[in-house]
Amino acid sequence: MTDPARLLAAYDERLRTDAECSSALRVRRLGPPWLVTFAGGHGFVTYRDLGGADAATVRELVAAAVEHFGADGKIDRVEWKARGHDHAPGLHEALTGAGFAADATESIMIGPAEALAAADAPLPAGVTVRRISSEAEVRAMQAMADEVFGDPPSAGHAEEMLRRQAADPGMEMWVAEADGEIVSAGRLEPVAGTEFAGVWGGCTRPAWRGRGIYRALTAARARAALAAGRTLMHSDSTEYSRPILERSGMLEVSTTTPYRWRRPGTERR
């Protein structure tokens, strides 16, 4: 499947709502939106579409979501995942008016796993790629990711990743190492009941970029996806990774923008 319209239709049908809630503690339906509670104080809003809502209805849905999560004192942060191809009049204004802040827009990339697996690149001398699983390795991987993404070092991020690993045995963590130091990392997340697997969390230390490491790490994950019976790959990609994935046969089918709300007085983590 390489037609962008068909790939986008498959994305909407198989990778939204249920596929995004597999590890949820609770899900409440509020008309079209799904209000999802994850462990660690994380709320999430997703939907297949907004049912043709006009701007006034969109404002009401946003206000109701904030009221729902605000009433749960254990929730300190919420993500509303907006997609560029959705009909959602006034959504940006409604979210920012309710206290959400927009992160950078990313590209929704989809393509055949076989093409991605074949797009390997020679690794620099001394660099190796492997799957990790131990707690110490996951903590080291997450500490590197926090550093690369400019986040303060956070034990909470590592704890969240370990909880997700325990809840989803199909999720795989992959790293590239040089002299025992993690220089690049990413996850593989097969989507249950579909032909899809996601490549997530890709990051490479600045000094090691442009040397084929991320491409090789992604190819290794694609081969693992094929071994697990997945034929299509998907990813929300930054402008760093999008060109690499495009050269490996993936297509941009739409965009996604995370909007984030934080409970007043809580620290970022």
Chain segment 127-153, per-residue pLDDT in tens:
999 999 999 999 999 999 999 988 877
pLDDT given for residue 1 in this prediction: 61
Beta strands in 24-171 (DSSP E): 26-29, 34-38, 42-46, 77-83, 101-102, 106-112, 127-132
Buried b (16+ CB within 10 A) or exposed e, 130-139: eebeeeebbb
CA distance 97 to 223: 44
The pTM of the full predicted model, rounded to 2 decimals, is: 0.90
Q: What is the CATH number of domain 110-253?
A: 3.40.630.30
Average the pLDDT over 247-256 and give the result.
94
pLDDT tier for residue 180 given thresholds of 50, 70 and 90:
very high
**Residue with token string 């390489």:** 2
Q: Which two tokens stand for residue 52?
A: 């043709």
Structure tokens at 191: 């989507």
In contact, 84 and 235? CB cutoff 8 Å: no
Which pLDDT score, from 0 to 100, does residue 267 have? 58
Residue 82 pLDDT grade (very low, low, confident, very high; cuts 50, 70, 90):
very high
Same fold, 4-105+257-262 and 110-253: yes
Q: Taking residues 148-176, report their average pLDDT.
A: 87
Q: Once rounded to an integer, what is the mean pLDDT over residues 188-213?
A: 94
31-50, pLDDT tens digit by residue?
999 999 998 899 999 999 99
Q: Is the pLDDT of residue 23 over 90?
A: no
Residue-level pLDDT at 169: 85
What the block records as the tokens of 16 is 């939204």
Strands 251-262 and 101-102, bridge-based pairing: antiparallel
The amino acid that residue 81 corresponds to is K
Weakest mean pLDDT among 109-118, 143-152, 178-187: 143-152
Sequence ranges of the domains in the chain: 4-105+257-262, 110-253
The hierarchical CATH code for the domain 4-105+257-262 is 3.40.630
Asked if residues 34 and 211 have their Cβ atoms less than 8 Å apart, the reply is no
